[in-house]
Structure 1
Amino acid sequence: MSSINITVIDREGNRTEGVEWKDFESLMEALTRHKYPILATCGGNASCSTCHSYLDQGSFAKANEINDEEEDLLDMLDDTRHDTSRLSCQVEWSEDLDGAEVTIAPEW
């Protein structure tokens, strides 16, 4: 089993480096395993947007592409959507994301 380390910034602005993300997990699963307050109401099926997060620009470019379902949900997040918004349940593990910076979006 492989893993990478990411930096997570929570909703209060607290920054934690060295958060482990295992290769069989989505980003949402890694965040919830580390007890970050991600509701994941839909269970990771890209149908609720409660796992909305922001990736740093470089990691956003390296992450798997946004599919139509994710794009539709992100389009509904007018107030909190940024250029690097992702649903963390849809971000797949990749060695290329080692060192990524993930900011948990505000609750809506």
Structure 2
Amino acid sequence: MAKITYIEHDGTEHTVDVPTGMTVMEGARDNNIPGIDADCGGACACSTCHAYIAPDWVEKLPKMEAMEEDMLDFAYAPDPARSRLTCQIKVSDDLDGLVVNLPEKQI
């Protein structure tokens, strides 16, 4: 289990426990956190679970696969250094304390 903090665009913070094996997107969805739509349900087919990873966490996450990188082209205001699709980030104990910032909107 990992504590993950989701920060809405307006600064509202939500810190929740997300079970190991789930994705960061599922943690947001299951805890009713606004700002992650997850229209495709986690299939890496829409980019509506886009988030900005806190700078001190970027290098701690697994590298993104080509499909995720391609889908980020469709995200709202992607940041090449910090943007990720949260459906592609599996939760492990190593992610305890992860902070993600949510964009102003999802496309």
Q: After TM superposition, is the score higher than 0.5? A: yes
TM-score band (shorter)? Answer: 0.7 to 0.9
Partner of 1:96: 94
Amino acid at match of 2:45: S
Asked if the contact 1:46/1:89 (under 8 Å) is kept, the reply is yes
Asked if the contact 1:74/1:86 (under 8 Å) is kept, the reply is yes
The structure 1 residue matched to 2:52, chosen from 54, 69, 74, is 54
Name the SS of the counterpart of 1:43 in structure 2: coil
Partner of 1:72: 70
Partners of 2:7 and 2:70 in 1: CA distance = 25
Partners of 2:57 and 2:89 in 1: CA distance = 11
Partner of 2:21: 24
Between the two proteins, the alignment pairs up a number of residues equal to 104
Unaligned runs of 5+ in 1: none
Partner of 1:33: 30
Partner of 2:61: 63
Aligned residues: CA RMSD = 1.5
Which stretch of structure 1 is more off in the superposition, 24-33 or 53-62? 53-62
TM-score w.r.t. length of structure 2:
0.87
Partners of 1:34 and 1:5 in 2: CA distance = 12
Unaligned runs of 5+ in 2: none
Asked if the contact 1:22/1:93 (under 8 Å) is kept, the reply is yes
Asked if the contact 1:29/1:89 (under 8 Å) is kept, the reply is yes
Partners of 1:24 and 1:73 in 2: CA distance = 22
Paired-residue identity, %:
35
4+ aligned runs moved over 4 Å, structure 1: none
Displacement after TM superposition at 1:75 (Å): 2.5
